[in-house]
Amino acid sequence: MLTTVQKEILQVLIDLYSKSNYMPIKGENIAAIMKRNPGTIRNQMQSLRSMGIVKGVPGPRGGYKPTIDAYHALNLSAADEEENVPLYKKDKLVENITVAKIEFTSLPQPGFCEATIKVMGDIKQLDLGDKIRVGPSPVNKLVVNGVIMGRDDMDGILLVDVSDIRSIPHKSVLEIASQDLITLEPDMNIKEAAWILSNNGIDGAPVIENDEIIGILTLIDITKAIANEEKDLKITNLMSKYIITVKQDVMIAEAIQIMNKNKIGRLIVTDANDKPVGILTKTDILNQIAGLKYLTS
């Protein structure tokens, strides 16, 4: 049975071990984070080594490494430490802490949601009442916002009153894009293009010539042309030639970054041969994140 101090040491050791790309960690580094005497850490390490939980590495670049039993002692798996999941307090990154597990404990209760969050590192940096943000997680980009309602220093557990949960599905853009791609031809006039867009209930479409995208036309472009009494122009005079495309295997999270960086609301999805196969809009992404298709079904 590990003591509270030994569990704290293991938590800090595993966290530093992961962040150092799995290099041995010196006892002085652990002592500095825990704000304890290095001699105390060395004494505890002797006990942990005798239990087979910690391995000592000799030499000038030596130190300590956690064994697989160290992860088991803290109810972790080694795989949990391969990615760093950050924790923020008042929008500032909390150093020397990473999140290992999140469990939601009261989802069925209307208007109330709690989560227990297992953290590795110096948990004493966090106090009751602190507003925190956890994530994003490596796969589904899960982000949890809430207020700390309880803290277990011995096991490195936070009890959080959750105010907001967000997640980006781990899917490719092709999985959520509109694949029944509506296209426009360059010799169309505004009236023809407007009829196609309105009849299909869309607010924009790519202009295709010889199987290549040469531009994109939106209802806003058409509205501006009509307002300027330019309704007889060809759509090639109105369309935007600033086209952003993404390959069909790009993940949603990356597509969001591309949209935000370029300040656009839609992306043309292409296959391996750069042929357009679909269109992805911010509405498609929001529907996936918010689960609106389930709410309206």
Supply the mean pLDDT for the chain. Answer: 84
pLDDT above 90: percentage of residues in the chain: 22
So what's the pLDDT on residue 77? 62
So what's the pLDDT on residue 5? 87
So what's the pLDDT on residue 297? 44
Angle between helices 38-50 and 27-34 (to 10 degrees): 120
Instruction: Give the separation between CA 162 and CA 148, rounded to whole angstroms.
Output: 9
Instruction: Give the separation between CA 205 and CA 183, rounded to whole angstroms.
Output: 6
| Average pLDDT of the segment spanning 14-41 | 87
So what's the pLDDT on residue 224? 87
| Average pLDDT of the segment spanning 221-242 | 82
Which tens digits make up the pLDDT trace of 246-283? 999 998 888 888 988 888 888 889 888 888 888 898 88
Instruction: Give the separation between CA 252 and CA 26, rounded to whole angstroms.
Output: 41
Which tens digits make up the pLDDT trace of 42-79? 999 999 999 999 999 888 888 999 888 888 888 776 55
In terms of pLDDT, which residue wins out, 196 or 17? 196
Confidence of residue 81 (pLDDT cuts 50, 70, 90): very low
Instruction: Give the separation between CA 53 and CA 45, rounded to whole angstroms.
Output: 9
> Torsions phi, psi of 288, nearest 5?
-70, -45
The token pair at 199 is 């009849």
Least confident stretch, 94-98, 176-180, 254-258, 290-294: 290-294
pLDDT of 290 strictly over 70: no
DSSP string over the chain: ---HHHHHHHHHHHHHHHHTTS--B-HHHHHHHHT--HHHHHHHHHHHHHTTSEEEE-STT-EEEE-HHHHHHTT--GGGGSS---EEETTEEPTTEEEEEEEES-TTSTT--EEEEEEEE-GGG--TT-EEEE---TTT--EEEEEEEEEETTTTEEEEEEEEEE---S-BHHHHSB-S---B-TT-BHHHHHHHHHHTT-SEEEEEETTEEEEEEEHHHHHHHHHTT-TTSBGGGTSB----EEETT-BHHHHHHHHHHHT-SEEEEE-TTS-EEEEEEHHHHHHHHHTHHHH--
> One-letter amino acid identity for 144?
V
So what's the pLDDT on residue 110? 55
Which tens digits make up the pLDDT trace of 109-162? 656 788 899 888 778 889 999 999 998 887 778 889 999 999 988 778 899 999
